[in-house]
Chain A
Amino acid sequence: MTTVISAQNLSKRFRKTEAVEDLNLEVSEGSIFGLIGPNGAGKTTTIKILMNIHKPSAGSAEVIGVDSRRLGPAEFAKIGYVSENQEMPDWMTVEYFLAYLKPFYPTWDDARANELLRQFELPLKRQLKHLSRGMKMKASLVSSLAYRPKLLVLDEPFSGLDPMVREDLAEGLVDSAGETSILVSSHDLGDIESFASHIGYIENGKMKFSEEMTSLTERFREVEVTVAPPAAATGKGQWPESWLRPDKTPAVIRFVESQFDSERTQKDIRRIFGDVVQVSVNPMPLRAIFVALARTGSKAAA
């Protein structure tokens, strides 16, 4: 499958701060890639490097087949960029804003723009400065989807929006998925877990892991081992690195298996605890997976 974004060993240093460090990222064509991480993790810097707003200090990135440092008008005609803190021409009305942008894009589709305007219920005659934060995001999204971009990059688009607006925006994104590849960043997993096909977790400027959503949920399990004699709870030998957040009581051991394989996990349990009374294995919600990874430093995540 072809990639629309491919970054290798991307780094960005602002004086003494390493905002992004050795970051690798691949976004496949047609996918919705969710870039998750706490505030200040390096999501916005990564996106700004990809959009040629910042130059990388080291490493390189290709966006729709072009080095990010060489992105120009021809490429931006195929890329949409929506950011929570983008400075818009506030004096323009929604109608004029769209009319102004239209000639910049050879692929601008009026029917699509009108459809999105209807879907988002945007007031055409209102100036952008008089729109609410949610409305402004919607206007920005319409202006970035109307030309059917090959790639849409969204930086924290849901931040500070009420649930109804989030739902509307997510719906607009899902409708465009397929013909448009999407990279969306958020500090809140809940914002994107419902529609992202791939997920990447970034922390302290480093990509901790990046993979398909389905494989992520398949490889994580919450395991509870009940042992017979209390002394056995300490176990024998080294615990696998893929066991995260172990929690022990004299008779019960709980941990998160980050590389779940039914046969191998059972074998590891028997090797360490001997004969066990009961082993219960439960699938985990995505949020619990992220909490486990974030709290353990995710050594075994990749």
Chain B
Amino acid sequence: MAQLWHILRKDCRYLRFEFLLYALFLGCYTWTETQVVPATSFGREIFVPDTLRLLSAIGMMAVASYLIIRLIHAEAIPGDKQFWLTRPYSWKSLLGAKVLLLLIGVSLPMLAVRLLIFRIQGFPFYPGVWQLLWSQLVMTVVIGLAIAALAALTAGLVQFVIPALVLISVAAFVQEDAYWVIPGPPARCGFARPSPQQA
């Protein structure tokens, strides 16, 4: 357990600038999501906040992904030259430290920000909070751990990008395929698009 905290502290120090950047993007995301924007407009003034909102959301997700990749690559698994391979690291402590930092350093702040936005926008706390928690959990497990798993199979950022792009393309293709096969995606699903009949 002591080794777990020791590795975690080291990773916090190692990624301190990335965490600062992440905090900045979380702040931007919160700000853009809480600005009052007219529902419909074709004017210039609506275009800028929407772009900002999109950019801050993409930026936040990109920095979160980058943080996870850097966190895993701090003790890269593939290769035979890493200094830590011949040091008395316990696998349990190493894995525990990485998962814990992913949760408390990446996922939890994002959840906090989403809860804050939820409150500022005036939504009732119940039952929305459970949906938020569920979506955050799914995002952490599906996206966060998928990024961590892919990072664990690669030794550097460049090596990570190519398979990641391939996987994203495959996922997009599968989703597109499912869109035609499964009629009427659930209306409550945030990523669902209208079916061909609806469109």
B52-94 residues at the A interface, CB under 8 angstroms? 74, 79-83, 85-90
Q: Complex formed: what's the CA distance from A103 to B1 in Å?
A: 12
In the complex, whether A164 has a CB less than 8 A from a CB of chain B is: no
A61-115 residues at the B interface, CB under 8 angstroms? 72-74, 76-77, 79, 81, 83, 85-89, 91, 96, 100-101, 103-105
With A83-B81, A86-B81, A91-B14 already in contact, the answer to whether A104 and B3 are too (CB < 8 A) is: yes
For B88, give its contact among A48, A51, A76, A140 (CB under 8 Å). Answer: A76
In the complex, whether A130 has a CB less than 8 A from a CB of chain B is: no
How many B residues, CB 8 Å from partner? 18
* B-to-A contact residues, CB < 8 Å: 2-3, 6, 10, 13-14, 74, 79-83, 85-90
8 A-B pairs with C-beta separation under 8 A: A54-B80, A76-B86, A76-B88, A77-B88, A86-B81, A87-B82, A87-B83, A100-B10
In the complex, whether A277 has a CB less than 8 A from a CB of chain B is: no
Q: Return the CB mask of A135-161 against B: 1 if under 8 Å, else 0.
A: 000001000000000000000000000
For B86, give its contact among A53, A85, A89, A105 (CB under 8 Å). Answer: A53
Chain B residues whose CB sits within 8 angstroms of the CB of A77 once the complex forms: 88
Chain B residues whose CB sits within 8 angstroms of the CB of A105 once the complex forms: 88
Chain B residues whose CB sits within 8 angstroms of the CB of A48 once the complex forms: 80
**A-B pairs with CB below 8 Å: how many?**
46
Given contacts A86-B82, A86-B83, A91-B14, could you give 15 more A-B pairs where the C-beta distance is less than 8 Å?
Answer: A51-B85, A53-B80, A53-B85, A74-B88, A76-B88, A76-B89, A87-B83, A88-B83, A89-B14, A89-B83, A103-B2, A103-B3, A103-B6, A104-B87, A104-B88
With A91-B14, A103-B2, A103-B6 already in contact, the answer to whether A73 and B83 are too (CB < 8 A) is: no
Name the residue in B82, B85, B86 with the highest tally of chain A Cβ atoms < 10 Å from its Cβ.
B86
For A87, give its contact among B13, B81, B88 (CB under 8 Å). Answer: B81
Q: Complex formed: what's the CA distance from A214 to B2 in Å?
A: 48
With A53-B80, A91-B14, A100-B10 already in contact, the answer to whether A73 and B89 are too (CB < 8 A) is: yes
Q: Complex formed: what's the CA distance from A4 to B79 in Å?
A: 26
Q: Complex formed: what's the CA distance from A53 to B86 in Å?
A: 8
How many A residues, CB 8 Å from partner? 25
* A-to-B contact residues, CB < 8 Å: 48, 51, 53-54, 72-74, 76-77, 79, 81, 83, 85-89, 91, 96, 100-101, 103-105, 140
Looking across the interface, which residue of chain B has its beta carbon closest to that of A44? Answer: B80
Q: Complex formed: what's the CA distance from A76 to B83 in Å?
A: 12
Chain B residues whose CB sits within 8 angstroms of the CB of A81 once the complex forms: 86
For A51, give its contact among B14, B86, B89 (CB under 8 Å). Answer: B86
Chain A residues whose CB sits within 8 angstroms of the CB of B87 once the complex forms: 76, 101, 104
Q: Is the CB of B90 within 8 A of A73?
A: yes
Name the residue in A72, A85, A89 with the highest tally of chain B Cβ atoms < 10 Å from its Cβ.
A89
CB B58 to nearest CB in A, in angstroms, measures: 27
Chain B residues whose CB sits within 8 angstroms of the CB of A83 once the complex forms: 81
Chain B residues whose CB sits within 8 angstroms of the CB of A72 once the complex forms: 88
Q: Complex formed: what's the CA distance from A273 to B90 in Å?
A: 67
With A48-B80, A91-B14 already in contact, the answer to whether A79 and B86 are too (CB < 8 A) is: yes
Q: Complex formed: what's the CA distance from A91 to B74 in Å?
A: 10
Q: Complex formed: what's the CA distance from A101 to B2 in Å?
A: 13
CB A227 to nearest CB in B, in angstroms, measures: 56
Chain A residues whose CB sits within 8 angstroms of the CB of B89 once the complex forms: 73, 76, 104
Chain B residues whose CB sits within 8 angstroms of the CB of A87 once the complex forms: 79, 81-83
Q: 4 smallest A-B Cβ distances: which pairs?
A: A73-B88, A81-B86, A76-B88, A77-B88
Q: Is the CB of A85 within 8 A of B6?
A: no
Chain A residues whose CB sits within 8 angstroms of the CB of B6 once the complex forms: 100, 103
CB A91 to nearest CB in B, in angstroms, measures: 6
Name the residue in B2, B74, B81 with the highest tally of chain A Cβ atoms < 10 Å from its Cβ.
B81
Chain A residues whose CB sits within 8 angstroms of the CB of B2 once the complex forms: 103
CB B11 to nearest CB in A, in angstroms, measures: 11
Looking across the interface, which residue of chain B has its beta carbon closest to that of A96? Answer: B13
Q: Complex formed: what's the CA distance from A83 to B83 in Å?
A: 9
